[in-house]
């Protein structure tokens, strides 16, 4: 499960991981848009962010009950602590990060980022990132993608996953 702020490389990296692992790829934003019959920007504009977050929460519950998936979550999935809890119980969760200047460069031309629409994109991005940073920082496995090619990010995640498997399950308290 990959999460992190927009522009950190979740979708690209998830595609590479799914190919390498021979697992199903689920890009949550794509699934939500497909099920809603409209783009994420249209969901935000017509139905509002709270409606989108309800759709997102329902999808998290559905996906966390499945196994052997590679999931690219939307950047705001961390806003609901239940989302993190559910995903952490169902598999490895890695938070991708990047320097604000790198994120801005990656999303500068994007037209599908509803939370950056209208006004100063850089100021909106910095404010949103600052508000979410403590949530991202609470995730144990974080990987800075600022200076890494997607293939290198995937390599590091695979190494991390192998280490997690080598450790075995955590002992349970009795």
- pTM here is 0.86
Domain boundaries, the chain: 2-164
pLDDT, residue 113, reads 65
How far is residue 157's CA from residue 13's CA, in Å, rounded to a whole number? 9
Query: If DSSP codes are grouped into helix, strand and coil, which group holds residue 82?
Result: helix
Q: Edge to edge, what strands does the sheet with 24-27 contain?
A: 24-27, 69-72, 2-4, 94-97, 142-144
Largest CA distance in the chain: 55
Question: Tokens 């990987």, residue?
Answer: 143
Radius of gyration of the chain measured on its C-alpha atoms? 16
**CA-closest candidate to residue 61, choices 40, 27, 84:** 84
pLDDT, residue 121, reads 77
How far is residue 50's CA from residue 30's CA, in Å, rounded to a whole number? 18
Q: Which two three-digit tokens encode residue 156?
A: 């590091």
pLDDT, residue 116, reads 61
How far is residue 25's CA from residue 18's CA, in Å, rounded to a whole number? 6
pLDDT, residue 144, reads 96
Domain topology for 2-164: Rossmann fold (3.40.50)
How does 33-54 read in b/e, with b if 16+ C-beta sit within 10 Å? beebeeebeebbeeeeeeebbe
How far is residue 62's CA from residue 54's CA, in Å, rounded to a whole number? 13
Q: What is the full per-residue pLDDT of the chain (174 aa) written as tens digits?
A: 999 998 999 999 999 999 999 999 999 999 999 999 999 989 999 999 999 999 999 999 999 999 999 999 988 999 999 999 999 998 899 999 999 999 888 887 666 666 666 667 788 889 989 999 999 999 999 999 999 999 999 999 999 988 875 544 444 343
Q: How far is CA 48 from the centre of its chain?
A: 20
């Amino acid at each position: 499960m990959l999460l992190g702020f927009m522009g950190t490389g979740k979708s690209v990296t998830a595609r590479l991981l799914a190919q390498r692992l021979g697992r199903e790829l689920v890009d949550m934003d794509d699934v939500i848009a497909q099920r809603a019959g409209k783009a994420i920007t249209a969901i935000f504009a017509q139905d509002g962010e709270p409606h989108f977050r309800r759709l997102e929460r329902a999808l998290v519950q559905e996906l966390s009950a499945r196994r052997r998936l590679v999931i690219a979550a939307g950047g705001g999935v961390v806003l609901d602590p239940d989302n993190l809890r559910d995903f952490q119980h169902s598999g490895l969760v890695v938070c991708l990060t990047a320097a604000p200047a790198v994120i801005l460069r990656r999303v500068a031309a994007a037209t599908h980022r509803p939370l950056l629409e209208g006004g100063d994109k850089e100021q909106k991005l910095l404010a949103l990132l600052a508000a979410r940073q403590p949530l991202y920082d609470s995730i144990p496995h974080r990987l800075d993608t600022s200076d890494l090619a997607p293939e290198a990010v995937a390599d590091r995640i695979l190494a991390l996953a192998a280490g997690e498997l080598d450790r075995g399950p955590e002992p349970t308290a009795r």
